[in-house]
Structure 1
Amino acid sequence: MDMGGGRLIRMMILVLVMVLVWKIWDYSSLPVLEPPSFNAEISKGISSSKLQSDQEQNSVLQAPVDEEHLLQETRPTTHKLENKSDKENKEEKQDRIQKGEGIVIKPVYKEKKLNDMGENSETMKIKSEKKEHEESRKLDKKTKKKEKKNEEKEIEKGQKEREVAVKPTMRIEIYYEVLCTDSRNFIMRQLTPAYEKLKDILQVGLVPYGKAETQEKNGKVTFDCQHGPRECEGNIVHACVTNIIKDEAKQIAIVHCMIDRNEQPMVVGKKCVEKHGEKWESISSCVTSDKGASILKHMGEMTHRLKPGVTFIPTITIDGSQEDQKHILLDFHKVLCKRYKGPRHPSC
């Protein structure tokens, strides 16, 4: 039984081998087909029924087969498969998008975003530098403006110092009496006109005392004047004017006004002081108090210190010197121009 079974198996194997050999020989007799080229243009208008029929004919492996015809019929199948694959991929992609999958950030977009951020950063940096530059310019401008202002102040200061050095002033002191005719003539005809022309180089001090005498009894100061008590009263009014009113030009103008008619010192004093815009109350208070007597006493001390002593009223000193009194009384302006040590004055 075993022998019979083995013989049957060997017979079946032999038959299979013969069939296989016959098939191989049959296939080898078929023409060799080149693989289809996808670069050629795909034919149009091939129906799906014809494609199915051609596929069935190809499956039977009929011989002989036209190569070009087979190629043309094979290409639509490939194109259809590719279209189907693309369609399936597209549907799959849409499904993934609906499910929240497949959202891909393209590198190009990311790079562009990064570039935009870089550009923004660069722009901000440029704006910051520009702002700093503008602030620096503003500071520099302010500093330069301040420096220019300081330089102008220094120049102005230097000019003033040079003017002081170039235009020295002369110190003039007038020792006079309010009821003295010579004193009246000198103040009105010589002092006032000369001062109006040369006031920028003059410093004038008025000393209304003359040849009076000062007496003190029981702490009270009294005066004995050359032209009587009315002159002493007038001297005190003049002394208070020179002490209270600080404007030198106003002092000379008020004294000029009063000495023209000084017989009633308080009346004319009020009129002249108010005429030049000053308050008479402060002057009147000075005259009627001990302050007026104290000021006139000081004027007497100044007069008694003169060397040589007073022999004629008025006596005028120029920088402390009593020289050339005769010419001073006749032409004060001319003497001042002659004795001035600075550059020639325009009025000279």
Structure 2
Amino acid sequence: MSRLLIPLLISIILGCSAQDNIKVSVFYESLCPDSIRFITQQLYPNYDAVSTYITVDFVPYGKATHTLNDGVWEFQCQHGPNECHGNMLQACALNIIEEQAVKVSFVNCVMSTAYPANDAYVEECADANGISWASIVQCVEDGSGGNLLAALGDRTHAVEPTITFVPTIIYDDVYDAALQSSSLTDFLGTVCGLLGREDC
């Protein structure tokens, strides 16, 4: 079978009609190897081919928890406190960035570094994409970052069924195991199948 045929058959079986634009939500973690692999090897390399057909929705939180203690958000992350910091840095940056292409470029840049939770690497990626590093730092330090990350956590915990693997890729806010599986190994083919296109 061709690369495009399998996801197209998936969309037909699931009763998904072809669409002009698809929301692609990526629930991920800054220090998760599988998240890094998906973003740098599947999403980013194929983004240009489908950029006019998709809206990418980054949700950097993953298998974490958050609690509010004395007005301050406290987070516990799968790969430790540094991952929480990395998630917050990305949450703050994504809140600042307006253009989707810049969001994709920034997140790929950060996730391609040797350590995506390192301030120096994130600063380099911010500078490379025309994002104010000072604004990101202010967001983290003034409590805005905690509020943003907690909101992303609420979104993550609201996913049904409960997220058990990171990254989780969801199309148009509806989780589907078959699309999740195919996205991790053939993101382009999956999106093209959902679009009902062979030329994207």
Task: Please give the TM-score of this superposition, normalised by the length of structure 2.
Answer: 0.86
C-alpha contact (below 8 Å) 1:237/1:265 kept by paired residues: no
Name the counterpart of 2:193.
Answer: 338
C-alpha contact (below 8 Å) 1:236/1:296 kept by paired residues: yes
Q: Which amino acid letter does the alignment assign opposite residue 303 of structure 1?
A: T
Name the counterpart of 2:163.
Answer: 310
Equivalent in 299, 305, 319 of residue 152 of structure 2: 299
CA-based RMSD: 1.5
Q: Residue 268 of structure 1: CA displacement?
A: 0.9
Pick 1 or 2: higher relative contact order, CA cutoff 8 A, min separation 6.
Answer: 2
Structure with bigger gyration radius: 1
C-alpha contact (below 8 Å) 1:224/1:232 kept by paired residues: yes
Name the counterpart of 2:81.
Answer: 229
Q: Residue 263 of structure 1: CA displacement?
A: 4.9
Helix, strand or coil at the partner of 1:200: coil
Q: Residue 194 of structure 1: CA displacement?
A: 2.4
C-alpha contact (below 8 Å) 2:42/2:188 kept by paired residues: yes
C-alpha contact (below 8 Å) 2:93/2:131 kept by paired residues: no
Q: Aligned equivalents of 1:268 and 1:192: distance in 2?
A: 18
Name the counterpart of 1:176.
Answer: 28
Task: Please give the TM-score of this superposition, normalised by the length of structure 1.
Answer: 0.50
Superposed, 1:21-40 pairs within 5 Å as none
Q: Deviations along 1:201-257, whole A, 9 cap, x unmatched?
A: 100100000000001111111100000010000000010111011111111111111
Q: Aligned equivalents of 2:140 and 2:99: distance in 1?
A: 19
Q: Residue 195 of structure 1: CA displacement?
A: 1.5
Q: Aligned equivalents of 1:274 and 1:184: distance in 2?
A: 21
Equivalent in 47, 63, 68 of residue 211 of structure 1: 63
Which protein has the bigger strand share? Answer: 2
Name the counterpart of 1:251.
Answer: 103
Helix, strand or coil at the partner of 2:66: strand
Q: Aligned equivalents of 1:258 and 1:236: distance in 2?
A: 13
C-alpha contact (below 8 Å) 2:83/2:117 kept by paired residues: no
Q: Which amino acid letter does the alignment assign opposite residue 96 of structure 2?
A: I
Name the CA shift for 1:285/1:311 in 2 (closer, same or farther; >3 Å): same
Name the counterpart of 1:275.
Answer: 128
Q: Which amino acid letter does the alignment assign opposite residue 172 of structure 2?
A: D
Moved over 2 A (4+): 261-265, 344-347
Structure 2: give runs of 5+ residues left out of the alignment. Answer: 1-17
Q: Aligned equivalents of 1:202 and 1:263: distance in 2?
A: 25
Equivalent in 178, 184, 190 of residue 329 of structure 1: 184
Q: Deviations along 1:284-341, whole A, 9 cap, x unmatched?
A: 1112220000000000000011011101100000112222121110101101111115
C-alpha contact (below 8 Å) 2:44/2:108 kept by paired residues: yes
The farther-off stretch of 320-329 and 243-252 is: 320-329
Identity %: 35
